[in-house]
Structure formats: C-alpha cells, structure tokens
Amino acid sequence: MKRHIQWTIWLLAAALAFTAPALSAHAHGGHTRAADKGTGILLVTFGTSIPEAQKAFEVIEERVKAAFPEADVRWAYTSHVIRKKLAKEGQELDSVATALAEMMEEGYSRVAVQSLHFLPGSEFHDVQINSHKFAEMEDGFEKVSVGYPLLSSSADLARVAELALKMAPKDREPEDAVVFMGHGTHHPSDVTYDAMMYHLQKMDPNAFMGTVEGHPTLDDVRAELRERGTKKAYLIPFMSVAGDHVRNDMAGPEAESWKSVLEADGLETVSVLKGMAEVPEIADVWVDHLRGAMKRLEGHGHH
C-alpha cells in the first residue's frame, strides 16, 4: 500500500515536471496564437480631416520610428466624426478598439498605446480603459501599457512652455504678446491650462494661455492684454495639429474668431498656422512618454 502511494506521487511529479513548462508558456497570451509578432506601438490621436494638418502626425511617426526601429507602428483616431469623414474620402482609419483587435489577430503579444492627447482628460481615460480590456481577454495580449499625454508632469509643462514660445516668429518684439489657443475641456484636467499659464508667465511675461472650451477663456486673456496695453499679438495653436479649431476659431474671418475679437479690441494680430506636433522637439515629449510605456511592458503584471 505504502509503496503504491509512493509510486503514484513519483508519477505525478514526473508528469508535472513535463507539463509545467508548457503550462507556464500558456499562462499568458493564450493557446492558439501561431506566431508572436512581438511588441507593437499604437499611436492614438483625436484625428484631423485636414490633409495639411496631418503632416504633424508624420513628424510624430518619424520620431517614434527613429526611437523604436524594431517595433511596428499603427494609428488610431478617437473621433468617430473624423473617421467617418475620412472614410468617405477613401481613407480608412481605425478606432482604438478596431486597431487593437487587428493587432491581436495578427499575433502581437505586447502593445504600447501612446496617447497623443495634450491632457489626461476624458479621451485619454477612455483610451486607457479600452486598451487595458484587451489585456484581460482570453487570447488577448500578454500586456498592454498606455503612455501619458503631452502634459503629464510639472517638468512636461516647463519643457513644452519653452518649446512653444519658440514657435513665435523671430522678429517678435518683447512687448508683443504671444497668445496660445488650447482646446479646453469640461474634464477636471482643464486646470492644466492654468498651470501652463504659470509656466509661460515665468518664462515670458507677455505669453498667455487661453482655451476655446475651458479656462482660461479668451476674455481672461483680453483682460491681461488690456492691462498691459498690448498693441500686437501672435496667435499660436496650443494643439497638436493646425486643424479646424485653428483655421476657424483662432484665425478664421468670422466675428467670433480670436483674430477678429482681438482686432476689434484694437490689436494687430499675426496667426501662426502650425500644429505643435509639427515641432520635432515637442513630438519628442510624447516619444519620451512612449519610452515609459515600453519600459512598463517589460515588467511583470498586467498593467
């Protein structure tokens, strides 16, 4: 009897010894995946339907590919409206969920999702939630990590403030104002623009932060300009691309555009039609955040 039990234990141990490596190989990543394509990168932006504005994305892609030459780079647009508009023009762009599903099917085991948003706002949170769900699926990715948006630390704000100020034309006089137009959001992360104002002011007392939909408002900026008796202002997008908001809300001919409002106040304005992502050094801030996400992919655990 005793001898019989010992045999059984020995057989069990032997069986486990053979199956254990196979079990651990299956523990992450599923059983049916044929070839592991390794690590992929998914760049996520709101998107733009303006072709000239898309060159900002080319700059980012170039910098990302230079930093991670081994990894495949894909794109996803979060804006349903822009995806639909582009599809009508024959340009197919994926949502985050579609892009990740495709990458899963193709056999990537790990994906770094880089948010090309400015703030950790509602779009970023959606990207984060949806991306991580793909790591929870049976046969899903082994691991997914999400890189932070552009302005995710005090150091980011200082770095971006300095680079953004360089977008003003060289012939600007120090008393000329530089007015940045950000998007703004109802999400609590809107306070980032107030923080941005602090960093800009520290570097240049005639630099101002305003937003289309949040705070500070254009009226806040106008009050500052009035107080200083400013005669001329450079209008610069605080957005990744010079898209619809820039061409219409900032520099458009309508009476409500920032250009028109400031000119009605008696200022001379010069609009800079350039997205911030077109500045390679600004694109590199996102690349650095992607580097952090790639690093987190190397560790253990699902997040």
Where in the sequence numbering do the catalytic residues fall?
Answer: 183
> Which residues on neighbouring strands pair with residue 113, listed in sequence order?
42, 146
Would you give the DSSP letter of residue 58?
H
Strand (E) or helix (H) holding 45: strand 38-45
Paired with 42 in beta bridges are 74, 113
How far apart are the C-alpha atoms of 135 and 110, rounded to whole Å? 9
Pinpoint the alpha helices (H) of 152-239: 154-165, 191-203, 218-228
Residue 153 tokens read as 């630390």
Nearest C-alpha neighbor of 285 from the set 191, 178, 160, 107: 160
Rg of the chain in Å (alpha carbons): 25
